[in-house]
Amino acid sequence: SAGQVADQLGFGAYAVGGFVRDLFLYRVNEDIDIVIEGNGIEFAKTYARLKKARIHTYEKFGTAVVIFPDGFKIDIATARMEYYRFPADLPNVEMSSIKLDLFRRDFTINTLAVQLNAVKFGILIDFFAAQKDLKEKVIRILHNLSFVEDPTRIFRAIRFEQRFGFSIGKLTAGLIKNAVKMDLFNKLSGRRIFNELRQILEEADPTPAVQRMHDFDLLKYIHPELKPSAKLLSNFQAVKKVLDWHDLLFLDEEYLQWAVYLMVMLRQFKPDTTRAICERFEMASRYQVIFCEERYRGDQCLFWLRRNLPIENSKIYRELSEFRVEVLLYMMAVTRNEAVRKAISNYFTQLRQVAISIRGKDLQRIGVKPGPVYREILDAALNAKLNGRIKTRSDELNFVR
């Protein structure tokens, strides 16, 4: 019915991009993008009204998001020719606006479109031989100035190549090498490089992409001394193992996967260098503390655990409870000590869930005078429970008596 709405308004409507690509790759993709020839915002408003959906519009870009009552979202964009400046040496050929919209995209495999208008519903549009490249499993840019126009596409090329098990086409690989030689990245802000790196580190298995970034000499844009050493690669693989373990056990615990990998990636650097990298990335300060402070404390804690294990659960709890999930996962991945890893995994699966049920008011009821002693008593009760000396609520009450 999106097509019918477009028909009524006299607009062309197409499903485009990753969604269509992933249909051909048998991959699930729930991000639907629609491009409208005409006025995308007007289309989105009409369509949302019909569907009783909410809508966010971005007038400046001619885009909108339609949010259905069940939370499902569709992105709507307007195909507009006038916003496109042709790279200087390309012939200024006539193109329909959908064709031009697709021509502005990063790679051929992302240029498929499906017509949504009623009379041509379901017709596949493939201006740039995307189906052929999907079959041949290659990542190709659409024209030779693509990386000059937008160097972040180089990181995207690696990300898609590794995600789909494709390979970057010969000409495209040559153009990447050229772009690196010409130092196009120096024009790119640290923030944009960080943004691309973060997306790579969010992929299911980022390890081969790090090797690829090295092949194209891109790691230097993170830091000149960064190399895919055997240690770094094996730590990356260890992160994947730990994250798989975590995700099986704690399905709905959310965490920043990229942050765990980035801690490992920056592990070789001293705090000053790490700080400088985070600054250049224009990383929000709520993230900077993870890399510049917490991860160093995590390493210190690993050292401490190695020297002091075995220790009672309550001590492990006190040491580990200050860390966020990301840092704990980092610690589990980088330690080479089996006992230390066990202690952290025991904290994860058991200790951190432990809590006592008695409160200050329970202490008041049995006649303890309020004061700092409350904290001490409750802490002692928690310790006793962590160490398995008490179990039930009545144990707790007996304990504090």
Q: Which residues lie near ligand ATP (CB under 6 A)?
A: 17-18, 31, 105-106, 110, 150, 152-153
- Minimum distance, C-beta of residue 231 to ligand ATP, in the bound complex (Å): 29
Q: What is the spatial distance between Cα 384 and Cα 295, in angstroms, rounded to a whole number?
A: 29
CA distances from 383 to 64, 199, 393 (A): 53, 41, 14
Minimal CB distance to ligand ATP: which residue? 18
Grouping H, G, I as helix, E, B as strand and the rest as coil, residue 278 is helix
Closer by beta carbon to ligand ATP, 87 or else 388 = 87
* Angle, vertex CA 196, rays to CA 191 and CA 201, nearest 5: 120
**386 and 354 in contact (C-beta within 8 Å)?**
yes
Closer by beta carbon to ligand ATP, 152 or else 167 = 152
- Minimum distance, C-beta of residue 121 to ligand ATP, in the bound complex (Å): 22
Q: What is the spatial distance between Cα 207 and Cα 209, in angstroms, rounded to a whole number?
A: 5
- Minimum distance, C-beta of residue 397 to ligand ATP, in the bound complex (Å): 54
Closer by beta carbon to ligand ATP, 164 or else 296 = 164
Question: Read out DSSP for 168-188?
Answer: E-HHHHHHHHHHHHTTGGGGS
Closer by beta carbon to ligand ATP, 151 or else 298 = 151
- Minimum distance, C-beta of residue 7 to ligand ATP, in the bound complex (Å): 25
- Minimum distance, C-beta of residue 370 to ligand ATP, in the bound complex (Å): 55
Q: Give the residue ranges of DSSP H helices in 31-105.
A: 40-51, 97-103
DSSP state for residue 108 in the 8-state scheme: G
Q: What is the token pair recorded at 117? A: 């208008």
Question: Beta strands of 151-233 (E only): which ranges?
Answer: 167-168
Closer by beta carbon to ligand ATP, 31 or else 136 = 31
- Minimum distance, C-beta of residue 269 to ligand ATP, in the bound complex (Å): 28
Closer by beta carbon to ligand ATP, 20 or else 226 = 20
Closer by beta carbon to ligand ATP, 22 or else 215 = 22
> What does the H/E/C string look like for 332-390?
HHHCCCHHHHHHHHHHHHCHHHCCCCCCHHHHHHCCCCCCCHHHHHHHHHHHHHHCCCC
**64 and 58 in contact (C-beta within 8 Å)?**
yes
- Minimum distance, C-beta of residue 371 to ligand ATP, in the bound complex (Å): 56
